[in-house]
Amino acid sequence: MSLPSGLRRAVTASAARGEKWLIALDFDGTLARLRRARSAARLPHGRRLMLQRLGRLPGVRVVIVSGRELADLRRRCRIRGAALSGEHGMSLTGFGRAWSHPATARLHRESAALAAAASRLTLGMPGVEIERKRTSVSVHWRKAPAVRRDPEGLGRALSGLLRSGWRLAGGKCVWELRPGLARGKGDAILLAQRRLGPGARVLFIGDDATDEEGFRKLGRAAWTVRVGPGETAARWRVAGPVDVDALLVELSTARRQAGLSSSTSRTRPRSSTRRAPQR
């Protein structure tokens, strides 16, 4: 696999100009394969090392953006030097001063009531799992055969639980009760971009509906890449996590080659020809 041609040209030109890069990646489905049990998701060791090496290159920063809580994301990533954003852009750490949304405390209280209501609603639905987070509630139905036959039915039922200021969002085998705030992964990426400094280029790689929100938020100014099939607002597409590996390798190669060329151009060999003595 190689970079899509348009992305390859953009990356090569940017590296030659010495622009800063912010490389943002989703976790589940992008860095880690989707598993029947969410607790089984793991970041492969080789991919972790690759991200660490990429993040150590001059002018490059890596940030992992996910719907998972920060504590869970930190346990699963363990990428030295990488920033983390949890719960769909509601927090950012590892990139300057830690940030969380001002409404976090209120949403934490409200999510408790919603999680309890969702648990009662799905009591007779084997395989459904309720995950309460600080600012949202995820209703996972990957292991629920009855819901897999009619996921929209569960979605309609969950919609009836929503209180003012909350909304229902879909994902891969999950319904999420999320705050209605105009906040998402794209916002966290933009915050990290501002902290990196003027002129920083953004590359965002993701595979899910919440990543699509990020693609739209970032717009054409960013390099956006969809992992897997489906309609997308991203500018380019790759097939799966293995292709993400190849993409990261090419990014690293482009950056290193540009640095080598720059170093070579600054260091000119001294001439061995001496001026003939005057008689």
Residues annotated as catalytic (active site), given as ranges: 26
Least Cα distance to 236 among 255, 256, 250 occurs for 250
Helix axes 45-55 and 241-266, enclosed angle (nearest 10): 30
Least Cα distance to 177 among 112, 102, 230 occurs for 112
Could you tell me how many helices (H) and strands (E) the chain has, helices first? 9, 12
Least Cα distance to 188 among 278, 279, 113, 100 occurs for 100
| Amino acid present at 197 | G
Report the distance separating Cα 222 and Cα 22, nearest Å.
10
Are 54 and 62 in contact by the 8 Å Cβ rule? The answer is yes
Are 243 and 228 in contact by the 8 Å Cβ rule? The answer is no
| Amino acid present at 55 | G
DSSP alpha helices (H): ranges in the chain?
Answer: 5-17, 45-55, 70-77, 104-121, 145-149, 151-159, 185-196, 209-218, 241-266
Backbone dihedral region of 59: left (phi > 0), alpha (psi from -120 to 50 degrees) or beta?
left
| Amino acid present at 13 | A
For residue 171 the two structure tokens come to 């994902």
Instruction: List, edge to edge, every strand of the sheet that includes 223-227.
Output: 83-85, 60-65, 21-26, 201-206, 223-227, 236-238
